[in-house]
Amino acid sequence: MSVETHEAVHRHEPPTSFIRKYIFSLDHKVIGIQYIILALVAVIVGMTMSVLMRMNLSWPGTNWPILGTLFPAGAPGGIMNPEFYLSLVTMHGTIMVFFVLTTAPQGGFGNYFLPIQIGAEDMAFPVLNMLSFWVTLVGFIVILAAIFASGSASTVGPIGGWTGYAPLSALGQIAGPGQGLGMNLWIISIAIFCVGSLLGALNFITTLLNMRTRGMTLMRMPLTCWAWFTTAVLALLSFPVLLGGGILLLLDRLAGTSFFIPGGLYVSGILSGTNPSFPVHTGGSPILWQHLFWFFGHPEVYIAILPGMGATSHILSTFARKPIFGYRAMVFAIFAIGLLGFFVWGHHMFISGMSPYSAMTFSILTLSIGVPSAVKTFNWLGTLWGARIRFTTAMLFAIGFVSLFVAGGITGLVLGQTSLDLPMHDTYFVTAHFHLVMGVASIFGMFAATYFWFPKVFGRFMSEGMGKIHFWITFVGVYCIFVPMHVMGIVGMPRRFSSFTEYTFLSRLHPLVVFVSIVAIITVLAQFLFYFNLIWSIFKGKKAGPNPWDATTLEWITPSPPPHDNFAGVLPTVYRGPYEFAVPGAPNDFVMQTEPETEAERTGGNGHNGHRH
Amino acid sequence: MGRALAVIIWILTLGSVSIFFVKQWWFPAAISSHAAALDRQFLITIIVVGISFTAAQVGLGYMVWKYRERPSHERAMYTHGSNRLEVIWTIVTAIIFIGLAVMGQSVWASLHFNKAPAGSFQVEVVAQQFQWNFHYAGRDGVFGRTDPSLIDDSALNFVGLDETDPSAKDDATHSVIAIPVGRPVELILRSKDVIHNFWVPQLRFKQDLVPGMAIRVHFTANQIGKYELACAELCGQLHFKMKSYMLVLPEAEHQALMALPQDQFQSRVTELLAQYPLPTY
Amino acid sequence: MATTVTGTKPLTQTRLGGGSKSRGPNGNGSPKRNGHGHAFFDARSSANRYRIGMWVGMASILMLFTGLSSAYIVRAASANDWQPLRMPRVLLLSTALIIISSITLEFARRKFKNAAQSAHKSLLAVTTLLGFGFLASQVFAWNQLAQQGIYISSNPHSSFFYLLTATHAVHLLGGLAGLMFLTLRSRLRIDDELAAAKGQAQTDAVTLYWHFMDVLWIYLFLLLFFWRQV
């Protein structure tokens, strides 16, 4: 391995004070870790909420004294009430989608590794980068505040699901518990989050376009970089629309406008305009909110999963010891998914009262998005074909990603069809589909990334033993949780019901509901092993060198952990593609991107101009 | 490790696929005229889904089993892919997926692209937080005028019916929907407050009720009986309790019911509810 | 086991990695960018990030206004409660001010290029003043409407009027901050190529943003008062 020194870029000295180094740091690596810590905290909150929800569904009416103590209004006497359950649904969804699935893959891993993988010292705008994290953190604090602001009103946050459909979300306190201050804070939190993500996206795009090192052409970038780049583009173009929608919603609630609230509503015994608590409204369109929300909401799904796809490609190739199969096709597929992702939002609204003709168009576009997704799957399988697979924990999770991505994604073929949406809409089939594909698969991508890059970040390996136990329980667990949910959906079990005891047609599902809850609790407990492994390995893990996995990309040429300016003042030069494994005739089974062309390559290659510097 | 992973993947695949064969955990028997085509389309789709899912997982397991690191072979195969394969699988999946999407449109088109046939039985549905109100036109077949400002919960006038309107005289409202068997039904869906959703699993039909809109949908039920009706769009804290029943009655019985004045109508519906049992599952 | 997949040219030992010229499905990319190291790392290229960043940021702001515009159009068609506002005349003044400010800033930008610092500074000052003038004129328009009893909740058109003009004003404040940054910056001495390139790039970026605000205002003005007065 050699790093050709072309010009010594003046070296940035790291700041020395604790605050500048770890708190208000401008270093993309520290900011990346801050994002990951934020996600690790948020995911515990979201996961706890899901356990509470499962317990309420399988053992309704059970007394949980702790809950009664913590939330006397929401769980009087320790028994959860329906509004408490629904606010858990809302907060679980919001926290998971925004503060886990958007922050960890992009803000966390993207921030840490995008600059290193393209051979840059830092992001293009470090101050903006720091701001984007702190803005996001403020958003998180505001959403946590929503839990406590609603505490007296027997909920732990607003009631609206993560989609916050108007007019339920627009009417204010009058529409019932969970529609007061908590809902305002929910909207404000999301607006703040939008701003943070936009600053981040701007930075990612500029960095990638402007700061690639010498020789790092677009088609030599690791697929992770393509994924982060596309994700940033999606975020850049979709978050503003949500921000706009959020402003309109907030104005409807606070300024008495009628963007989403139609006239003549009669809510909780009060006719619009006859009482100061319910000002007069006219002519608003509830469906307009859905359009604005889903124009963002659908790309958001890809914002969550694309980085996982990138990490999976990267890790599969590395541990298959084989070049990625169809690099170009992978890049095109990422872009096709991103592009099509902007034109399919209507499939969330087939039964909303939208024009049935546009529903048909959305349906066909939706099923076309399965094509690039399938292409990616085929290429992953192609990568494993003829490989020499090393089963590290990271690789297990990457393979798990492929398996779960197929399992979760393929049912999109059902949900994307207009007519099949009639029975399936808003049932557990939908819940199962998106949890598998955008929730669990994305998280598997991030687990793989964590086990893979941990040695780079901390200079120590994570424990493989604990990692493998974590993988087996989680992999089997998520299948056992989410596959039965499809069946619940077929029977007709609706989402967002705090209890199923009202309906006789659902009673036969009770054994499945209980089974899912038990597995969910076991799977959640297994995650604490991951947390323990994370902390234990920082201090006690086996020491790792600069390139512990025999990988090829730029993050592996620099020490572990990397110095403040990533490459110690010497920017690398790139000579070849990112996944040169098993090259015939090469001394090792991997060739680093920085490995200069050999004499044979230079003279043998017909007509390329790779002259020396 | 590779072999263990392969076996686990295969077991999970087998388990996942077989749970879809448990008859007890399938759709409740359908009662609407469009349901047969819809169920067939669902079956075709789920078979395509099942085959693709199984093929991908079995393939993944095979790769993981076969190409695990072994001392016997030194290096992996050096290839960057194949354009021909990329083109083939892109085209094949595009044909299958888009073909499914196109096939899925016919039921949709039959329900949404045509107006309700003449002679349909009309019901106005007025949803409100945690309660269904069905407004029947009565013998004259004309709905009395409604106005939100006339809503009076204490007088049980939940839909805001204008009693002074002559065509309102024979109107009836009830929280249960009673429709004739074998005759097209047109629903005019409204909401008083937030978005609700009309969902009867046996009908294979769902439609949002959006405040500010009057959405017209139609279907035909062809099986007499009593069915549970649920709200399938989050509408507030008691969303899970927004339950009612749909009665599908023989034509004559239905006509007799519709001819009753409001007070007798109420008690007759109660009788009918007791008379018809829920389907057994 | 096969060594290659059908359709891929076998890569021989002499054509390793980046050596392949074929643009097949391989991950090597094209090697042609290897050669031009100097151009790649010079100051101008590095300073380019300000221009790129600005374009990217503008794309995002454009999406915000696209979202709000589509809401405007949908809402206008969704019910018959739309009462068109009478245009406050002072908005014509706003429009004139912002167009002129765009022109003065463009001159300021060119003067930076020509290293005529004093002209650059005074033109910047004029632009900043015009920018504040625009905001004052907008505030005046809001006041005028408020005096007529037209508030944000009065009817959908007034809701959108206040919303769109306020959102534009917030973004314009960002432009004013940029202008003040340039003013502060213009007091610094430029002593090397890097600083010159950076200064030019930042000036370009702010100017670009200001022009964008100008065009955006004209668009909003047309949308609010000339698009199909429903």
Q: How far is B83 from chain C (nearest CA, A)?
A: 6
Instruction: Over range A272-291, report the average pLDDT.
Output: 92
A559-594 pLDDT tens trace: 999 999 999 888 899 999 999 999 998 888 999 999
Q: Which domains does chain C carry?
A: 89-225 (1.20.120.80)
How far off is chain C from B70, nearest CA to CA, in Å? 14
Residues of A in contact with B108 (CB under 8 A): 356, 359-360, 363, 418-419, 422
Q: Which amino acid is at A298?
A: H
**pLDDT tens digits, one per residue of A459-504:** 999 999 999 999 999 999 999 999 999 999 999 999 999 999 999 9
CA distance readout (Å), A277 to A124, A170, A284, A478, B191:
49, 13, 18, 46, 20
**A444 part of contact set with chain B, CB < 8 Å:** no
Q: How far apart are CA A150 and CA A87, in angstroms?
A: 9
Burial of A507 (0-12, 13-18, 19+ CB in 10 A): exposed
**A361-414: pLDDT as tens digits:** 999 999 999 999 999 999 999 999 999 999 999 999 999 999 999 999 999 999
As a whole number of angstroms, the distance between CA C10 and CA B78 comes to 9
List the 72-111 stretch of C: residues with Cβ below 8 A of A: 74-75, 78-82
Rounded to whole angstroms, how far apart are CA atoms A416 and A360? 10
Around A80, how many Cα atoms within 13 Å sit in the side-chain half-sphere?
28
Assigned token pair, C153: 């909740």
Closest CB to C7: pick one of B77, B78, B84.
B84
- Residues of chain C in contact with residue B83, where contact means CB-CB under 8 angstroms, are 7-8, 24-25
When the pLDDT of each residue in chain A is averaged and rounded to a whole number, the result is 92
List B residues 119-158 in contact with A (Cβ-Cβ < 8 A): 128-129, 148-149, 151, 153
Q: Please name the residue of chain B whose CA is at the shortest distance from the CA of residue C12.
A: B78
Helix (H, G, I), strand (E, B) or coil at B161: strand
CB contact (8 A) between residue B64 and residue A178: no
Domain ranges of chain B: 2-68+82-111, 115-275
CA atoms A390, A391, A394, A397: torsion sign: positive
Give the per-residue pLDDT at A603: 67
Q: Do C67 and A240 touch (CB under 8 A)?
A: yes
Query: B178 by DSSP, 3-state: which?
Result: strand
| End-to-end Cα distance, chain C | 72
List, in sequence order, the alpha helices (H) in A211-285.
223-254
How far is the C-alpha of B171 from the C-alpha of B133, rounded, in Å? 13
- The ipTM estimated for the assembled molecules is 0.95
Task: Report pLDDT digits (tens) over A522-539.
Answer: 999 999 999 999 999 999
pLDDT reported for residue C185? 85
Q: How many CB pairs under 8 A join A and B?
A: 357
Residue B30 pLDDT > 80: yes
As given in the structure block, the two tokens for residue B277 are 């049992």
Please list every residue in chain B whose beta carbon sits closer than 8 Å to the beta carbon of residue A399. 5, 60, 64
Residue pair A593/C17 in contact by the 8 Å Cβ criterion: no
Q: CB distance A175–B67 less than 8 Å?
A: no
Q: Which residues of A touch C167 (CB under 8 A)?
A: 247
Neighbours of A78 (CB within 10 A): 16
Q: Considering only alpha carbons, which residue of chain C is nearest residue B77?
A: C3
Q: B236 to chain C nearest CA, in Å?
A: 25
Tell me if chain B has a CB within 8 Å of the CB of C27.
yes
C83 interface with B at CB cutoff 8 Å: no
Domain limits, chain A? 20-263+283-556
Subunits next to B (3 or more Cβ pairs <8 Å) are A, C
Contacts of C32 in chain A (CB under 8 A): 217, 608-609
Parallel, antiparallel, or unpaired: how do β-strands B215-220 and B225-231 relate? Answer: unpaired
Of B73, B81, B212, the CB nearest to C25: B81
| CATH superfamily ID and name for B115-275 | Cupredoxins -  blue copper proteins (2.60.40.420)
Inter-CA distances, A87 with A146, A150, A175, A289, Å = 10, 9, 14, 20
Closest chain A residue by Cα to residue B44: A414
Q: What predicted TM-score, i.e. pTM, was given to this entire model? A: 0.93
B47-53: average pLDDT: 96
Candidates C2, C5, C11; nearest CB to B81: C5
Task: Give the pLDDT of chain C (230 residues) as one tens digit per residue.
Answer: 333 333 333 333 333 333 333 333 333 444 444 444 444 456 667 889 999 999 999 999 999 999 999 999 999 988 888 888 999 999 999 999 999 999 999 999 988 866 667 888 899 999 999 999 999 999 999 999 999 999 999 999 999 999 999 999 999 999 999 999 999 988 877 777 788 888 889 999 999 999 999 999 999 999 999 987 64
For domain A20-263+283-556, which CATH number applies: 1.25.40.10, 1.20.210.10, 3.30.70.360, 3.40.50.2300? 1.20.210.10
The beta-carbon neighbor of C5 closest among B73, B85, B212 is B85
CB contact under 8 A, A505 and B149: no
